[in-house]
Amino acid sequence: MKVANPIYDIVFKYMMEDERIARTILSALLKVEVLAVEVRPHEYSDDTHDNLSVFRIDFGATILDAEDTSNDVKIVLKKLRFEAEAPCFLITVIEDTHVTTKCIDIKGITRERLFSDKYYRVLNLFHQMYIIDQDDYVMTQVEAIYENDEDLYGILRFLENLLADANVVSKMKEESKRHLCYNRSEMLVRYEFSVYALQVKLRLSEQESMLRATIKMLLDAGKSLEEISAAIGKDLNIVKKLAAN
């Protein structure tokens, strides 16, 4: 089955606005049962710094704790992704005065755990092991892994329908170009800095050679190191070092 790649912010946004999918994914991230969830109005950030994108969504939710007690909480979910890498999730649960935060690194999840645990099978949707080489916007998923699980199979069908939406595919490509643009800008800055650093190094080397020649000339003229230091305005230790080389 070919589906839209959920590591892209636009796809992730559409997914998490679906109540059933949001419950399934938040349950997997928190490893608790989320009974109900709704997207809250928020000033979410959709920023890119260098080649890192940060996407935030806020939720109001009801979760079931280990003692089977339901609690109303606020959930702040941030998806962080570097270009060409699986995302990390930073998730914060706010309950009265109690706040807990955890980070889930998708890259650190092993294949065995992905398929042996429902929660990890959900998170596997964000892993890149199934991306088709020639098209980063499309993933292939083995239906047999999910078809016996109504929630997971529902997510696949949702992603399949998103892939058929030309607007979604276009926005994924725009996001990819934005990453590439930032990446190229970062490479250009690094290159310009390395050129500048080399120029500074060459200038310093030239100055050092001139100083060394001046010190040698003054020493040959019978001047002491202390006199030379005072004459050229350089620290005595620097003068001694240049005179010794």
178-217 confidence digits (pLDDT tens) = 766 655 555 545 555 666 666 667 677 777 888 888 888 8
129 or 10, which is more confident?
10
Q: State the pLDDT at residue 242.
A: 81
* Stated length of the chain: 245
> What are the E-state strand segments in the chain?
2-4, 33-39, 46-49, 52-64, 70-82, 88-95, 98-105, 138-140
**Which tokens go with 80?**
């962080």
Question: For 35-55, what is each residue's pLDDT tens digit?
Answer: 999 988 765 455 555 556 778
Burial readout 30-41 (b: 16 or more C-beta within 10 A, e: otherwise): bebebeebebee
Q: State the pLDDT at residue 179.
A: 66
pTM value > 0.85: no
